[in-house]
């Protein structure tokens, strides 16, 4: 859940307020869903601020994603994401896998595949895209029911019925699928997996459209071969390294997926002509930053602020044992100079740099900025 603005979806009710069983169920579902399966806000700060000059006024943003866009979901559902996460911007853990904000914060941990043995054993979030969709459908149905009953709680603490059709729906989810596959498949097998991933994602857009969604921002995946985790875990051979020192074959897999995903978006536009579908080239902006890190004030593009000790990668909030000695991994002195926060997720500074270029539409395949991505007024 993003920032604490007066119009936020969740509001704490006085202890003396008694709710009906349905209200209590929706309140519980909202606490789980909004923090766990998707992020939802009313009047996102950047959208509202920029909207003073005209353009869209999205009443809410619903995000379906993994830990790169999670603003507190996994933390609320399972366990608090510990220090040093959040150290740069919030000064304390904030439910984000970063030292500060993720891209969604500037615009206003899951997989596409359902949970299976491969994904479970890899330690990835069990909240797949299918589950996120199901929970959203339940949340919307219960919210509308409460409004029909005239619930005061619905009026003050839940989205309005019309908000669902006017909201922005963002989808930023696939990196975990690729990481999970890398741990258990050959690269040839991974390439065979990609069509099913993009088909599932397109199916999710269809389902959201049936629920009234009309404005979509769909992010492709970034250069996974440039993540410090990949470079450490899968040291590239001389014939498999690109000009930036990244694992070339891993980036080729990401690009192959992105081509398939773009084709799916093109097909969606034909099926859903009244929807506004923006396909955002996150790969290009991430790779550009890595390629020109020093030009933009960043240090080693393949380094990370925490989580690395020599040639090994660890969770940066855990103690590690190296050669029989327990060590505590501390974050770097200046997280604003790094692109990767923990070897897997991007830093606050890198997310801000990318978000600035996403919002203006320069990464959209139809070159439409955020504030011109409104759904058709005539759409439900």
**Which residues are designated catalytic?**
67, 342, 345
Q: What are the tokens at 195?
A: 């069509």
The total of other beta-carbon atoms located within 10 Å of residue 294's CB is 9
Distance CA 218, CA 90 (A): 27
Contact 146, 153 (CB under 8 A): yes
Helices 248-271 and 282-291 pack at an angle, to 10 degrees, of: 150
Which of 335-338's residues contact partners 24+ apart within 8 Å by CB, and which partners?
335/87, 335/88, 335/99, 335/100, 335/305, 336/88, 337/297, 337/298, 337/299, 338/298, 338/299, 338/300, 338/303, 338/304, 338/305
Which residue shows structure tokens 């009244």? 274
Handedness of CA 81, 86, 87, 90 (dihedral sign): negative
CA–CA–CA angle 156, 33, 120 (5° rounding):
170
Cα 157 to Cα 181: distance, rounded to the nearest angstrom: 40
| C-alpha count within 13 angstroms, C-beta hemisphere, residue 264 | 22
Per DSSP, the three-state class of 88 is coil
60 and 159 Cβ atoms separated by less than 8 Å: yes
Say how far apart CA 350 and CA 236 lie, in whole Å. 24
With a CB cutoff of 8 Å and minimum separation 6, the contacts of 374 are 55, 56, 58, 166, 215, 276
Q: How far is Cα 78 from Cα 85, in angstroms, rounded to an integer? A: 16
> What does the block give as tokens for 103?
């891209």
Q: Are 174 and 257 in contact (CB under 8 A)?
A: yes
């Amino acid at each position: 859940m993003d920032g604490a603005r007066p119009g936020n979806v969740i509001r704490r009710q006085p202890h003396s307020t008694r709710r009906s069983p349905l209200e209590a169920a929706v309140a519980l579902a909202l606490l789980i869903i909004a923090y766990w399966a998707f992020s939802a806000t009313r009047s996102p700060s950047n959208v509202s601020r920029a909207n003073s000059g005209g353009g869209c006024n999205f009443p809410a943003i619903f995000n379906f994603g993994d830990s790169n866009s999670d603003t507190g979901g996994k933390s609320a559902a399972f366990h608090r994401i510990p220090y040093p996460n959040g150290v740069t911007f919030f000064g304390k853990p904030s439910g984000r896998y970063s030292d500060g904000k993720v891209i969604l914060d500037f615009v206003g941990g899951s997989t596409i595949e359902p949970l299976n043995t491969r994904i479970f054993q890899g330690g990835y979030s069990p909240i797949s895209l299918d589950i996120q969709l199901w929970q959203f459908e339940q949340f919307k149905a219960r919210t509308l029911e409460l409004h029909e009953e005239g619930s005061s709680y619905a009026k003050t603490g839940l989205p309005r019925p019309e908000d669902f059709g006017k909201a922005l729906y963002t989808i930023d989810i696939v990196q975990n699928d690729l990481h999970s596959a890398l741990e258990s498949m050959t690269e040839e097998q991974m390439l065979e997996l990609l069509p099913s991933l993009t088909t599932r994602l397109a199916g999710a857009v269809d389902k959201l459209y049936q629920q009234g969604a009309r404005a979509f921002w769909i992010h492709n995946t970034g250069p996974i071969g440039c993540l410090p985790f990949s470079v450490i875990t899968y040291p590239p051979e001389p014939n498999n390294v690109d000009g930036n020192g990244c694992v070339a074959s891993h980036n080729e897999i990401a690009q192959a997926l992105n081509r398939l995903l773009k084709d799916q978006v093109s097909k969606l536009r034909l099926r859903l002509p009244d929807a506004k579908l923006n396909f955002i080239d996150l790969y290009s902006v991430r790779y550009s930053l890595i390629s020109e890190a020093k030009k933009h004030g960043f240090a080693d593009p393949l380094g990370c602020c925490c989580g690395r000790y020599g040639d090994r990668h660890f969770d940066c909030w855990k103690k590690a044992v190296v050669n029989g000695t327990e060590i505590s991994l501390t974050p770097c002195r200046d997280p604003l100079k790094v692109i990767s926060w923990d070897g897997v997720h991007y830093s606050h500074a890198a997310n801000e740099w990318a978000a600035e270029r996403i919002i203006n539409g320069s990464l959209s395949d139809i070159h439409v900025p955020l504030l011109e991505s409104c759904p058709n007024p005539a759409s439900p």
